[in-house]
């Protein structure tokens, strides 16, 4: 699959996926077909060979269905029910759809204005909406029709008005979250008027919400209009919509039930199919539902593997062997990890390095079964902690390890700290999750930790909320939380990427001090060779879900064996290294659902030979401690290994 470049193909693809998603929802598709049939028949009413819906023939009243000349029988005035049904359906559909457009229009205008201007405008508009909402809506509709007088147009207005609050509240909520986004500020900076911004910036973003809200309320509005007509407040005789047909048939419900059952069934069919279609549209349009974000991930990643590789002879602290993690999205399988083998020994710092998208984070999360399932599945390999298998272990064991023996530091501390608790409370919580210690003792421990991560003014800072701190300080809190239960291993996923260079240097030296003081092992994930050089004892280089080279930091930096490693190192500028050209690696990493056979780097490699594209290439050891996955390594020792 190639990435779409211009917007037109993307749009096309998007509408394609919308239809596909919609069609996959069988109920919605069935509802859609029924609805299309009903709408077609209603549209064709003038050209269909129907009898006059108003022609009375009292001699023929209450004919049963299937009687000659009247397929669905006749009503109390001898009028043909089939003809009245089709014309009535037409009327009911028009009124329901127009009412919902009206409600959507006025509701959206009010919602966007309230959300965009905020403050007093918001207050006035929303209080007015609240007043509408204070009445049960059918009562309110009755009151409006009573004031305006009976009639179909007035019923339409009434139904529209009582549905405005639903749209206004929904749209206001979405608009509030958009009104202070950067793109709106940018539009303001270009000098656009408020109206211009609302139309060109806000409206396109709330449009999907409006469509979803409409599709789920049209059915209701058809029903409400029918209800008013049923009570004699909507369409007036001789014109009939489905509601008034039902109302007229009601008098003979026992003796001639068909006169009310037929329109009743039609209302049922229409509302049912409209609602099914509406739900289908909502599910297919809502990007969160599409990506499965609303499905709660399981507490651990699903493990679905055939064979378990045998344990190594000398167990390391963390042993990852041939780990294969996939994302099963629809019919596609993304092979994020295709066999990762990695070891971290006690007290050692191992750097896992690779371009963005190479599978570093997925490796880190797979270790503790934290990859979201669905769609993530661990399809092969093992993870052993101190010689014990983790992936197959009971969940209670995994939970004991998480945050206690093995802890994590993530890239964005603002996203990982809870915004509504003080950092002290959060550190205390991390302690108490594993050790039943009294609150005061836990707090004292939290304070000690904050001091040991060199938090200035720790005693007052402990009661701060995350938003009161700078990025570097928040990351210190993240480190303190990782250290809270004296873990043996910390997995740090790009902990300094979100920080500026000076703060990054401080955090790195802090991590380095801490690991020496406490003898904790670190699996340090980064895309930056400069960072690895400062901190790590060993390096594992990752490309397209595989380790392509491992070895001691110094040896790899001075003498890389894999062409990819060499090119990654060449991307790092050196202070005081004199002038040299920085070479970017041409091309892009391969898509993980379509990996080339053989070496995944071959398409970007300047030394690639036909053999590289042939079959599987093994990670071969050379020297004492190094290994490389390459047929034509750059390093003389590696070349000589065979």
Q: Would you tell me which residues interact with ligand ADP (CB under 6 A)?
A: 327, 329, 334, 336, 354, 356-362, 372, 375, 592
Partner from ligand ADP, Mg ion, none contacting 144, C-beta within 5 to 8 A by type: none
Partner from ligand ADP, Mg ion, none contacting 354, C-beta within 5 to 8 A by type: ligand ADP
Beta bridge partners of 253: none
β-strands 620-622, 626-628 pairing: antiparallel
β-strands 376-385, 349-353 pairing: unpaired
Complex with Mg ion: residue 464 or 497, whichever CB lies closer = 497
Q: Which residue is nearest to Mg ion (CB)?
A: 361
Q: How far is residue 578's CA from residue 104's CA, in Å, rounded to a whole number? A: 65
Complex with ligand ADP: residue 112 or 600, whichever CB lies closer = 600
Complex with ligand ADP: residue 281 or 342, whichever CB lies closer = 342
Half-sphere exposure at residue 144, Cβ-oriented, CA atoms within 13 angstroms: 23
- Closest C-alpha among 384, 407, 368 to residue 316: 384
Partner from ligand ADP, Mg ion, none contacting 133, C-beta within 5 to 8 A by type: none
Complex with ligand ADP: residue 118 or 530, whichever CB lies closer = 530
Termini Cα distance of the chain: 38
Give me the least distance between CB of 524 and ligand ADP, in Å please. 13
Spell out a b/e string for 31-65, using b for 16 or more CB atoms within 10 Å of the CB, else e: bbebbeebbeebeebeeeebbebeeeeeebbbbee
Give me the least distance between CB of 356 and Mg ion, in Å please. 7
Give me the least distance between CB of 489 and Mg ion, in Å please. 18
Complex with ligand ADP: residue 14 or 588, whichever CB lies closer = 588
Partner from ligand ADP, Mg ion, none contacting 169, C-beta within 5 to 8 A by type: none
Eight-class DSSP state of 337 = E
Give me the least distance between CB of 203 and ligand ADP, in Å please. 31
Partner from Mg ion, ligand ADP, none contacting 341, C-beta within 5 to 8 A by type: none
**Whether the Cβ atoms of residue 31 and residue 284 lie closer than 8 Å to each other:** no
Partner from Mg ion, ligand ADP, none contacting 372, C-beta within 5 to 8 A by type: ligand ADP
Complex with ligand ADP: residue 154 or 358, whichever CB lies closer = 358
Residue whose tokens read 């590696």: 638
Q: How far is residue 429's CA from residue 153's CA, in Å, rounded to a whole number? A: 61
**Whether the Cβ atoms of residue 377 and residue 459 lie closer than 8 Å to each other:** no
Read off the tokens for 284.
């297919």
What values do phi and psi take at 407, rounded to 5?
-125, 165
SS3 letters across 532-592: HHHHCCEEEEEECCEEEEEEEHHHHHHCCCCHHHHHHHHCCCCCCCCCCCCCCCCCCCCCC
**Which residues bind to Mg ion, rule: CB under 5 A?**
361
Partner from Mg ion, ligand ADP, none contacting 592, C-beta within 5 to 8 A by type: ligand ADP
Give me the least distance between CB of 536 and ligand ADP, in Å please. 17
Complex with ligand ADP: residue 73 or 380, whichever CB lies closer = 380
| Neighbouring C-beta atoms of residue 421, cutoff 10 Å | 14
- Closest C-alpha among 638, 642, 506, 494 to residue 566: 638
Give me the least distance between CB of 339 and ligand ADP, in Å please. 14
Complex with ligand ADP: residue 335 or 402, whichever CB lies closer = 335
Give me the least distance between CB of 504 and ligand ADP, in Å please. 18
Partner from Mg ion, ligand ADP, none contacting 142, C-beta within 5 to 8 A by type: none
């Amino acid at each position: 699959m190639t990435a779409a470049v211009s917007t037109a193909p993307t749009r096309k693809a998007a509408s394609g996926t919308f239809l596909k998603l919609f069609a996959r929802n069988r109920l919605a598709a069935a509802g859609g077909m029924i609805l299309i049939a009903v709408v077609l028949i209603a549209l064709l009413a003038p050209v269909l060979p129907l009898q006059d819906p108003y022609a009375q023939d009292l001699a023929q009243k209450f004919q049963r269905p299937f009687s000659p000349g009247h397929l669905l029988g006749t009503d109390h005035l001898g009028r043909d029910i089939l003809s009245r049904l089709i014309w009535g359906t037409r009327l009911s559909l028009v009124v329901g759809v127009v009412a919902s457009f009206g409600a959507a229009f006025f509701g959206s205008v009010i919602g966007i204005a309230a959300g965009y201007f905020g403050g007093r405008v918001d207050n006035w508009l929303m209080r007015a909406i609240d007043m509408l909402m204070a009445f049960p809506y059918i009562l309110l509709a009755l009151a409006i029709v009573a004031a305006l007088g009976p009639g179909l147009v007035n019923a339409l207005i009434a139904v529209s008005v009582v549905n405005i609050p639903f749209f206004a509240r929904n749209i206001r909520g979405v608009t509030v979250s958009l009104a202070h986004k950067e793109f709106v500020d940018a539009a303001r900076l270009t000098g656009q008027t408020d109206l211009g911004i609302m139309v060109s910036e806000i409206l396109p973003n709330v449009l999907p919400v409006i469509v979803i809200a409409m599709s789920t309320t049209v059915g209701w509005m058809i029903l409400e209009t029918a209800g008013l007509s049923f009570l004699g407040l909507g369409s007036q005789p001789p014109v009939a919509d489905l509601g008034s047909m039902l109302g007229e048939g009601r008098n003979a419900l026992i003796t001639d039930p068909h006169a009310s059952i037929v329109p009743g069934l039609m209302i049922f069919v229409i509302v049912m199919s409209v609602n099914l279609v509406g739900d289908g549209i909502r599910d297919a349009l809502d990007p969160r539902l599409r990506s499965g974000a609303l499905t709660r991930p399981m507490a651990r990643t699903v493990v679905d593997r055939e064979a378990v590789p045998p344990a190594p002879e000398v167990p390391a602290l963390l042993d990852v062997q041939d780990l294969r993690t996939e994302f099963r999205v629809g019919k596609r399988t993304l092979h994020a990890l295709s066999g990762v083998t990695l070891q971290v020994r006690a007290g050692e710092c191992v750097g896992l390095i690779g371009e963005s998208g190479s599978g570093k984070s997925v490796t880190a999360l797979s270790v503790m079964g934290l990859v979201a399932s669905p769609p993530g599945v661990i399809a092969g390999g093992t993870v052993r902690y101190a010689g014990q298998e983790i992936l197959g272990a009971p969940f209670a064991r995994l939970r004991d390890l998480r945050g206690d023996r093995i802890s994590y530091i993530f890239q964005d501390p603002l996203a990982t700290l809870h915004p509504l608790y003080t950092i002290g409370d959060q550190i205390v919580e991390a302690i108490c999750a594993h050790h039943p210690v009294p609150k005061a003792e836990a707090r004292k421990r939290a304070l000690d930790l904050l001091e040991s991560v060199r938090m200035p003014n720790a005693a007052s800072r402990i009661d701060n909320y995350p938003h009161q701190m700078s990025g570097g300080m928040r990351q210190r809190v993240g480190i303190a939380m990782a250290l809270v239960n004296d873990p043996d291993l910390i997995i740090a996923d790009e902990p300094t990427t979100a920080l500026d260079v000076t703060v990054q240097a401080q955090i790195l030296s802090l991590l380095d001090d801490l690991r020496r003081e406490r003898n904790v092992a670190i699996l340090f994930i980064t895309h930056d060779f400069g960072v690895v050089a400062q901190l790590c004892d060993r390096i594992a280089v990752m490309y397209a879900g595989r380790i392509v080279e491992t070895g001691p930091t110094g040896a790899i930096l001075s003498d890389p064996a894999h062409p990819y490693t060499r090119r990654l190192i060449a991307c790092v500028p050196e202070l005081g290294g004199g002038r040299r050209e920085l070479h970017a690696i041409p091309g892009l990493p391969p898509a993980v659902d379509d990996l080339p056979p053989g070496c995944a780097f071959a398409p970007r490699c300047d030394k690639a030979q036909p053999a590289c594209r042939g079959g599987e290439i093994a990670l071969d050891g050379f020297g004492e401690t190094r290994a490389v996955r390459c047929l034509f390594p750059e390093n003389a020792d590696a070349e000589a290994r065979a």
